[in-house]
Amino acid sequence: MVLLPEEIIKIINDPKSIKVLGTKTPEGRIHMICVGSMMTPKPDMIVFGTILMKKQIIILKI
């Protein structure tokens, strides 16, 4: 487990910042999307909304 530095937590929790989620499939394909709802409630956790996500959810479950 990795703890996020305080400056990164501030950026992610800033409602004005643009958040991007990137994943990589087992075959090595990259998929990135903008995420409207993302926050870090504690240094070892990132949470985000999954409404309208299709590919990312499949990749994250692999």
Ordered per-residue pLDDT tens for the chain, 62 residues: 789 999 999 999 999 999 998 888 889 989 888 888 899 999 999 998 777 666 666 666 65
State residue 35's pLDDT score. Answer: 86
State residue 59's pLDDT score. Answer: 65
Q: Using CA of residue 6, residue 61, residue 21, residue 47, what is the dihedral sign?
A: negative
State residue 12's pLDDT score. Answer: 94
pTM: 0.68
* Residues with Cβ within 8 Å of residue 51, at least 6 apart in sequence: 37
Sequence letter at residue 31:
H
State residue 52's pLDDT score. Answer: 67
State residue 31's pLDDT score. Answer: 84
